[in-house]
Amino acid sequence: MNIISALFKKLGLPQLIDQLVPVDPQCQTRVSDAVQAILYNVFDGRQALVHLEHWAQEVDCEKLIRPDLHPSWLNDDALARHLDRLYEAGIHNVISTCLIHIYRKEGLSLRAFHADTTDKTVYGAYESVSSEALRITHGYNRHHRWQKQIGFGLVGNEDGIPFYGDVHDGNLPDKTWNPEVLSHVHEQLKQAKMEDEWIYVADSAAMTKDTLAQTKAANAFLITRGPSSLRIVKRALAEADSPHIPWSEPFTLAERNGATYRVWETSSTYEGHPVRLIVVESSALDQRKGKTLEKERTKEAELLREEQARWERHPFSCREDAEQALASLKASLRPRFHRVEAAVEEIVRLKKRRGRPKKGAEPEVETLYFLHLDVEFDQDAWEQARRKASRFVLVTTVPKEWKGQPMDAQEILKLYKGQISVEMNFAFLKDPFFTDEIYVKKPERVAVLGYLFLLALAIYRVFQRRVRQFITPEHPLKGPGGRKLTRPTGQAIFQLFQYVNVVLFKLPDGRIQRSLDRSLTPEQRRILQGLGMDESIYV
């Protein structure tokens, strides 16, 4: 908490928040006090707003937030009043201004942004008299479960630092959200005095006529994954099967143990917009697609075994009938992963009759015809099916050269793979360690709390990025258990400070003297120095 508090103040966020929501002279606390208390409470692993006043009694509020702040002032009524004031001041604009301020302070690139949405389950009956309030409603989440929820939308850079965020209705579809958010991000870029071209990276829900039109209007370019149901995508995948296709040489994007890729590019138009289609083949088969293929192979093998057993028990009296059945069987069997050789087999055997045969009688024989199936697993077909399943198509409007840099298929794939940064942010927003259930009654306060979670995420990502800048493979960080960390997560860094305790001595004259209960370790000092901090953040 001391590190996050020091970072929050170094970024100048308390003063900015108090400018955006002016201090009420009748209140003992400021909006920035309430915001900090909620954020530090979240980072302390508690449920936000639950018994926050009692929590404040147990921490050093005067050091973390500001001098002369009494914990009893952070009661439920004061917090509720400040949440309402944030909502009335326009919480979306407040947080957007804070995010723009962070980007300026950190000197972050505004070249490419990754966008996605997620949902968060909430509980309780939320009532509002305002028709414009956040609609907390039932909807299907990403796991197709019916639940009461709100939506989070995020747009951020490759480090996962949000540049834009919103808290929206629980059942807003992504196809509606993408065009809307493009115009909002464009406005924020104008506010940041950056009206240059930029790149918008999103998942397949962005592949719509409205999103393409809005991308152009926002002075941006789009990179998205083409839905497999799209005609131009089907055509590109079919063409990629041709033997004459000039695939690229295999390459990797990760430093080690990464997937190998091959790419091939073609072009087309969609809803009047010229687009580049990049077919990507990955050595890392998608887990769900891999399971689907395994199920199909197993099911096909079982079906062929049943057919074998069925026709071996089904004799024909004449060859003509057997040949007709064989032709029908060959037409119906279209195995993907097996080679099937079927033929008519002629068998001459003794004819069975009732009773004991007469003495000296010649035994009677009969000729029967069976269908014989020889089934063999087709390794080549299996590998080809896996290869096809590992292919996907990226659709982009980015020109082949942009800002003096070649934007070939490999560079487009690299930008798209950065989508993991925004997806990792959802893990933060849904992690009960940071953000547990939301305990407020009004949808307006739910919205404000959701936006404060987004601000907490931005602070966390800035902290992680700052530390990663001075942690290199040559000089890794020694993490818990002696592990060498070259790209440590914020949580892994927090663990190194888990047992740092500050002892507070109350002197006879009323002053407070602070002291660490033990010396900081070399790794702790190294992190603080890299962040531009020292022991003074504690004492």
- In SS3 terms, 263-317 reads as EEEEEEEECCEEEEEEEEEECCCCHHHHHHHHHHHHHHHHHHHHHHHHHHCCCEC
pLDDT over threshold 80, residue 244: yes
Residue 199 has pLDDT above 80, yes or no: yes
Indicate the range of 112-116, 256-260, 316-320 predicted with least confidence. Answer: 256-260
What is the phi-psi region of residue 192: left when phi exceeds 0, alpha when psi lies from -120 to 50, beta otherwise?
alpha
Q: Which of 126-140, 214-228, 417-431 has the lowest mean pLDDT?
A: 126-140
How far is the C-alpha of 350 from the C-alpha of 353, rounded, in Å? 9
Predicted local confidence at residue 253, as pLDDT? 86
- The region of weakest confidence among 204-208, 332-336, 406-410 is 332-336
The average pLDDT across 121-125 equals 69
Instruction: Output b/e per residue, 289-326; b: 16+ Cβ within 10 A.
Output: beeebeeebeebeeebeebbeebeeebbeeeeebeebb
Question: For residues 347 and 313, is the Cβ–Cβ distance under 8 A?
Answer: no
pLDDT value, residue 433:
55
**CA-CA-CA-CA dihedral for 307, 308, 309, 311, to nearest 10:** 80
**For the residues 190-206, what does the mean pLDDT come to?**
87
Q: Return the SS3 of 54.
A: helix
The C-alpha atoms of residue 475 and residue 217 are separated, in whole angstroms, by 46
Computed on alpha carbons and rounded to an integer, the radius of gyration of the chain in Å comes to: 33
How far apart CA 305 and CA 316 sit, in angstroms, is 20
Query: Please, which pLDDT band fits residue 169 given cuts at 50, 70 and 90?
Result: confident
CATH of domain 108-228+263-276+396-430: 3.30.420
Pairing mode of beta strands 146-156, 162-168: antiparallel
Q: Give the per-residue pLDDT at 39.
A: 93
The vertex-176 CA angle with 398 and 178, nearest 5°, equals 30
Dist. CA 278–CA 263, nearest whole Å: 7
Q: What is the pLDDT of residue 525?
A: 94
What pLDDT score does 26 carry? 84
**Would you say residue 442 has pLDDT above 70?**
yes
Q: What is the pLDDT of residue 129?
A: 54
Average confidence (pLDDT) over 306-326 = 89
Question: Is residue 331 over pLDDT 60?
Answer: yes
pLDDT band with cut points at 50, 70 and 90 for residue 535: very high
pLDDT band at 146 (very low <50, low <70, confident <90, very high): low
pTM over 0.85: no
Residue type, 75: N
| pLDDT greater at residue 363 or residue 60 | 60
Token pair belonging to 233: 């995508």
State the CB neighbour count (10 A cutoff) for residue 137: 15
Other beta carbons within 10 Å of 443: 23
Q: How far apart are CA 290 and CA 390, in angstroms?
A: 9
> HSE on the CB side for 242, CA within 13 Å?
10
> Domain residue spans in the chain?
108-228+263-276+396-430, 229-262+277-353+362-395, 474-538
For range 244-252, the mean pLDDT: 91
Would you place residue 432 in the very low, low, confident or very high pLDDT band (cuts 50, 70, 90)?
Answer: low
Per-residue pLDDT of 59-101, as tens digits, reads: 999 999 999 999 999 998 999 899 999 999 999 999 999 999 9
State residue 165's pLDDT score.
Answer: 92
3 CB neighbour count, 10 Å cutoff:
21
pLDDT tens-digit series, residues 14-54: 999 999 998 888 888 999 999 999 999 988 877 667 788 99
User: How confident is the model at residue 538, as a pLDDT?
Assistant: 94
Q: What is the pLDDT of residue 438?
A: 61
pLDDT value of residue 142: 60
Computed over every residue of the chain, the mean pLDDT equals 87
- CA separation (Å) from 459 to 43, 120, 447, 462? 10, 20, 19, 5
